[in-house]
Amino acid sequence: MPRGASERGISVGIHDLEVATSHFVVSLSELAEHNGTDPAKYLIGLGQREMSFPAPDEDAVTIGAEAAAELLARTGVEGITTLLFATESGIDQSKAAGLWVHRLLGLPASMRVAEVKQACYGGTAALQAAAGMVARAPQERVLVIASDVARYALDSPGEPTQGAGAVAMLVSAAPALVELDPVSGRFTAEVDDFWRPNGMLEALVDGELSVAAYLDGVESSWLDLAARGGPSVERLAAILFHQPFGKMAQKGLRRLSSVVGRDLDGAGNTAGEAINSRMGNSYAASVYAALAGLLEYGLGEEPLSTGDRIGWFSYGSGSVSEFLTGTVGPAATTRSGSGGIAAKLDARAALGVPEYRALHTARGETPEVTDRLLPRTTRGRFRLAEVRGGARRYEGV
């Protein structure tokens, strides 16, 4: 029987994962004060405390490369045949963002690299594609990077839900962190709740419709999972939700409660909010940042135990939903209480609201193709150094 194989088939999943975020952070209390908004609307109404904001020399590539560099320092690159980069804030219409990461990290030439897009669902699409590749060739490993900068117009309803973050995951056979169950629940319905036409830096959003479409996705993907013989809700130690903002996870849990006819409010069910409420929306990375949060903070005071089964709901506007489940492996317990992600969030540089607004405006007024040299701002190990003739040049420290 090949490595990682069992009577259920090949065991495939997330062997290890790492989170990265941007250089700057903006306090939502300060944003509320500046806007004349009651801070409780952001802190309680949306469930958000802070938002990560990129320096001018940062983007989805630099943040994604940061997460992957830290991950690969632990796992090595042996056996990695594929890099899938999931993003909806890609920086080129043709060239995959992962190609710059491939060069920055000095990855082997004998690999394939591609970009995956379906709004915030892209990370899950990449994870599922990676799992399929590994199931076909269990000796191979796939690097998945979900990385996004969530940007909305100044003074728009979406503004306090901005953020920036990346999660890099190594997908392998016999995974140490989370083994994916072979069955998942899916739901697709074309809807105009959130979209970003070519040439636009900011998404167009029908906020109310996006909340309704998300909740339809929770219900329909759960019912699909149940119809396919997925685990009952009683067998899940924790349920994670894609978190455009923290309150959305609570709404998702409430909808699921009404579908299964059982109150699911309880310790840990919305675990992951501790990270997302400080990082803001990280689109494709968001639900996997919540997973990292669950692993680090555990369920309430309790760390996860090997063999615990967890579920997570992935949603991408437009819209595609998927409910996945998996079993926690032995490495999960070692991450509990490490404080690693909290330290990264604490390390961000505070940006005052006037300075944030100036950077936001300047970014919006600079066409992508404008030739420019970018002064070093980020303390991250990778940065965008130059744009010349529309081509981007990144550098490492």
Span of 37-45, 300-308, 332-340, 346-354 interacting with ligand COA by CB under 6 A: 37-45
The rounded distance, in Å, linking the Cα atoms of 255 and 215 is 7
> Which residue from 9, 33, 38, 306 is in contact with ligand COA, where contact means CB under 6 A?
38
* Residue 314 within binding range of ligand COA, rule CB under 6 A: no
Write out the binding residues for ligand COA, residues 332-351 only, by CB under 6 A.
none
> Which residue from 207, 231, 340, 396 is in contact with ligand COA, where contact means CB under 6 A?
207
* Residue 46 within binding range of ligand COA, rule CB under 6 A: yes
The rounded distance, in Å, linking the Cα atoms of 342 and 135 is 34
> Which residue from 29, 34, 35, 41 is in contact with ligand COA, where contact means CB under 6 A?
41
* Residues 163 and 19: beta-carbon distance below 8 Å: no
362-366: long-range contacts (C-beta < 8 A, 24 or more apart)?
A: 362/56, 363/56, 363/151, 363/201, 364/201, 364/202
> Which residue from 82, 161, 282, 378 is in contact with ligand COA, where contact means CB under 6 A?
161
* Residue 211 within binding range of ligand COA, rule CB under 6 A: yes
- Between vectors from CA 272 to CA 171 and to CA 363, what angle results, nearest 5°? 85
- Mode of pairing for the β-strands spanning 238-241 and 309-316: parallel
The full DSSP string for 92-159 is -SSS-HHHHHHHHTT--SS-EEEEE-BTBTHHHHHHHHHHHHHHHSTT-EEEEEEEEEE---TTSTTG
Considering the complex, what minimum distance in angstroms separates the CB of residue 247 from ligand COA? 6
Span of 100-108, 179-187, 208-216, 232-240 interacting with ligand COA by CB under 6 A: 208-216
* Residue 158 within binding range of ligand COA, rule CB under 6 A: yes
Q: Which amino acid is at 360?
A: H
| Residues identified as active-site | 88, 120, 242
Considering the complex, what minimum distance in angstroms separates the CB of residue 226 from ligand COA? 23
Span of 34-42, 86-94, 341-349, 357-365 interacting with ligand COA by CB under 6 A: 34-42
* Residues 122 and 163: beta-carbon distance below 8 Å: no
> Which residue from 48, 282, 317, 327 is in contact with ligand COA, where contact means CB under 6 A?
317
- Between vectors from CA 361 to CA 356 and to CA 362, what angle results, nearest 5°? 100
> Which residue from 6, 9, 40, 76 is in contact with ligand COA, where contact means CB under 6 A?
40
Residues in contact with ligand COA, counted by CB under 6 A, come to a total of 19
Considering the complex, what minimum distance in angstroms separates the CB of residue 157 from ligand COA? 4
Of 40 and 227, CB closest to ligand COA: 40
The rounded distance, in Å, linking the Cα atoms of 199 and 23 is 26
> Which residue from 89, 210, 221, 243 is in contact with ligand COA, where contact means CB under 6 A?
210
For residue 55, how many C-alpha atoms fall within 13 Å in the half-sphere facing its CB?
23
Of 241 and 382, CB closest to ligand COA: 241
The rounded distance, in Å, linking the Cα atoms of 216 and 173 is 33
> Which residue from 205, 253, 310, 332 is in contact with ligand COA, where contact means CB under 6 A?
205
* Residues 150 and 196: beta-carbon distance below 8 Å: no
Write out the binding residues for ligand COA, residues 265-294 only, by CB under 6 A.
none
Q: Rule CB under 6 A: which residues touch ligand COA?
A: 38, 40-41, 44-46, 157-158, 161, 205, 207, 210-211, 214, 244-245, 247-248, 317
